[in-house]
Amino acid sequence: MGSTVEGPQGVIPARLLHGQKALVTGANSGIGKATAIGLGRAGADVVVNYVAGREAAEEVVEEIASFGVRAAAYEADVSQEDQVTAMMDRMVKEFGTVDILVANAGLQRDARLTEMTLAQWQKVIDVNLTGQFLCAREAAKEFRRRGVVPEVSRAAGKIICMSSVHQIIPWSGHVNYASSKGGVQMMMQTLAQELAPEKIRVNAVAPGAIKTPINRAAWETAEARQDLLRLIPYDRIGDPEDIANAVVALSSDLMDYVVGTTLYVDGGMTLFPGFATGG
Ligand code: NAD
C-alpha cells in the first residue's frame, strides 16, 4: 500500500485512493471537512463543495493540496438541480471524471411537531434528502459514461451517503431530520440495488454523536456532555476523523464487495444502551 501518513485518529495509507477523484459536499465544516482531508491523505484528488464560507473551503483545499494531490473548492447548493449539474459538469471538465461521491451536506431546523413550520420541514428534506438524490443521480451518469478503469478501481464508482443513527432511532423534536435520514436509508438501498449491476457501489455511513458545529449544544457544556455520554457505550463523543476514516475505507477497494450497507460509526449508540442495566 506504499507509505503511510499519520492521521489525527490513526493511519491512512497514503496511496489507498491514488488516481481517484472525489467530490465531498458540505466539505468546509465538520465531518465533510475531515472526510475531504482524509480522502486527500489517501491520495485522491478532491473537490470541496460548499454553499457558504468560501474562505473555510479554501483552507480545506490548501490542506489537501499539501498532500501532493489536486484540490479545488466549488460553490453549489446541493438542493438546487441546476447548481448540482453545473458542479458535476465542471468537475468532469476540470478533473476528468469523478470516482467517489460523498453526499455529506446536511442541516437541522429543530422544532416540536406543532411548532414546526412547513419551511423548516421542507428545508431539511430539500438539503438532506433531495440534495443527496441530485448528487447521486449526476454522479451515476458519469460513472456509467466512464465505466470501470481497472488501474483506478474495481468499481465504476462509489457513492457514500452520509446518514445518521437517526435513520433508525426516532428523535423527538426533530421529525424533519429523522425523516430525511430514514429516507436516505431507503434511497441508498434502492440505488445500491439498481446500480450494482453497473459496478457502482452505493453505501452509507451513519454517525452517532460527533463533535461538529451541527450539534454544538449537545457537547459544549460538561452537563450536556455527561447526558450525551449516557447514550454512548464506548464512553467518548466521536471526532469528525472517526467518520472520515470510515468513509476512506468504504470508498476503497478494500471494501469492494460491500454494497448497500450502512456502516454505523457511533460508539455503540445503536445498541440500546438503556438495556445495559435494565430489561
Ligand atoms: P456541519 O454543520 O459542520 O456541516 C454541514 C455542512 O453541510 C456545512 O459545510 C454546510 O455548509 C453544508 N451545507 C448545508 N446546506 C448545504 C447546501 N444546501 N448545499 C451544500 N452544502 C450545504 O455538520 P456535520 O456534523 O459535519 O454534518 C455533516 C453530515 O453528517 C450531515 O449530513 C449530518 O446530518 C450528518 N451527521 C452528523 C452527526 C453529528 O453528530 N455531527 C451525526 C449524524 C449525522
Q: Are 151 and 93 in contact (CB under 8 A)?
A: no
In the chain, how many domains are there?
A: 1
Distance 48 CA to ligand 1 centre (A): 13
The closest alpha carbon to 159, from 238, 232, 101, belongs to 101
**Span 44-49, average pLDDT:** 99
Nearest of 65, 156, 175 to residue 115 by alpha carbon:
175
Minimum CA distance residue for ligand 1 atom 9: 26
Q: What is the mean pLDDT of residues 107-120?
A: 98
Q: Is 240 within a domain?
A: yes
Q: Can you give the pLDDT at residue 278?
A: 79
Query: What CATH number did the domain enclosing 28 receive?
Result: 3.40.50.720
- Domain of residue 206, residue span: 4-268
For residue 34, being part of any structural domain is answered with: yes
Is 275 a domain residue? no
Name the residue with cell 465504476: 156
Q: Which positions ≥6 away from 45 have C-beta within 8 Å?
A: 20, 21, 22, 69, 70, 71, 95
pLDDT at position 10 is 57
The rounded distance, in Å, linking the Cα atoms of 55 and 60 is: 9
Task: With respect to residue 14, please indicate whether it lies within any of the assigned structural domains.
Answer: yes
| CA distance readout (Å), 167 to 143, 145, 182, 232 | 27, 32, 4, 17
Mean pLDDT value across residues 195-218: 96
Percentage, residues of the chain above pLDDT 90: 93
What does the CA dihedral 95, 34, 252, 132 come to, rounded to 10 degrees? -70
Residue for cell digits 458519469? 142
Decide if 60 is inside a domain.
yes
Q: What is the pTM of this model?
A: 0.97
Ligand 1 site residues, Cβ closer than 6 angstroms: 25-26, 28-32, 49-52, 77-79, 104-107, 127, 131, 162, 164, 207, 209-210, 212-215
pLDDT at 7 over 60: no
Tell me the CA distances in angstroms from 141 to 116, 153, 193, 227, 267, one per residue in order: 36, 17, 16, 45, 35
Q: Answer for the pair 51, 105: CB distance below 8 angstroms, yes or no.
A: yes
Residue 106 lies in a domain: yes
In a domain, 62, yes or no: yes
Please check whether residue 67 lies inside any domain of the structure: yes
